[in-house]
């Protein structure tokens, strides 16, 4: 028996993400007042369930659906109402789809890319100036805890992945959508969301965006393989 029920873990993770989002939104940062606000940063989008506007949003929405699924499962247990069963199955399908297409690949991508670039040259992705606005614990809440949380979810719950073609198509749509959003913000403001892009020539930017899309797709495949490995082994 698990030391902590997975339902309790999900509720705790959801509360932590809500706390991170509230604290982040409460910060009086100049970037929040410019075009696109917080939604131009993939990190923020990922914490709630949106694809690229914020990693934090994606994760928060995903775990919110997980908690809602747990509550619905508890309420319908022992109930023969077929309509409620259908609704519960839809919730589970949505939860699994979000895990496969958004929560895992985008979450892992943000953590690995952020810290890789940060270690190389933090000014390219997280200028030292931000330390005056964002405390260290909040930075780790946005860029570090996402990975262990999503791995815990994968280890405690089996998720049904969509067909590989549909999954990869959805991931590509998300990636291209966010890239277009970043380009549009530059078109309107003349400033790139991420300082790294200021140093790349137009041709290199195209290669960079293509590489980003490929990497996110690779992480989708990694999630699928890892999920199958964990639960096939269990069976």
Write out pLDDT tens, residues 119-174.
998 888 788 887 887 888 888 888 888 899 999 999 999 999 999 999 999 999 99
**Which of helix, strand or coil describes residue 53?**
coil
pTM, to two decimals: 0.82
Residues of the chain scoring pLDDT < 70: 1-4, 28-55, 78, 233-235
Q: Is 115 exposed, middle or buried (0-12, 13-18, 19+ CB in 10 A)?
A: middle
> Please, what is the end-to-end C-alpha distance for the chain in angstroms?
16
Torsion of CA 222, 223, 225, 229, to 10 degrees: 130
Q: What is the pLDDT of residue 52?
A: 34
User: What pLDDT is stored for residue 204 in this prediction?
Assistant: 94
Give the per-residue pLDDT at 3: 47
Residue 154 has a pLDDT of: 93
- Scored b (16 or more CB within 10 A) or e, 26-54 reads eeebeebeeebebbbbbbbbbbbbbbbbb
């Amino acid at each position: 028996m698990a030391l902590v029920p997975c339902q309790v873990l999900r509720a705790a993770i959801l509360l932590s993400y809500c706390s991170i989002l509230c604290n982040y939104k409460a910060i009086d940062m100049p970037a929040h007042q410019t075009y696109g606000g917080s939604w131009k940063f993939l990190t923020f989008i990922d914490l709630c369930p949106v694809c690229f506007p914020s990693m934090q949003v994606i994760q928060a929405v995903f775990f919110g659906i997980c908690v809602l699924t747990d509550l619905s499962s508890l309420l319908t247990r022992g109930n023969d109402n077929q309509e409620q069963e259908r609704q519960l199955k839809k919730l589970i399908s949505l939860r699994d789809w979000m895990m496969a297409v958004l929560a895992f690949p985008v979450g892992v991508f943000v953590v690995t890319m952020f810290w890789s670039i940060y270690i190389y040259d933090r000014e390219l992705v997280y200028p030292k100036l931000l330390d005056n606005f964002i405390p260290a614990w909040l930075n780790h809440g946005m860029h570090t805890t996402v990975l262990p949380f999503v791995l815990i979810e994968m280890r405690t719950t089996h998720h049904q992945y969509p067909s590989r073609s549909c999954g990869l198509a959805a991931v590509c749509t998300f990636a291209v959508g966010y890239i277009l959003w970043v380009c549009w913000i530059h078109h309107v403001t003349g400033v790139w969301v991420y300082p790294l892009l200021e140093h790349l020539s137009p041709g290199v930017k195209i290669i960079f965006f293509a590489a980003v899309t490929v990497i996110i797709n690779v992480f989708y495949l990694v999630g699928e393989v890892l999920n199958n490995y964990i639960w096939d082994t269990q069976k």
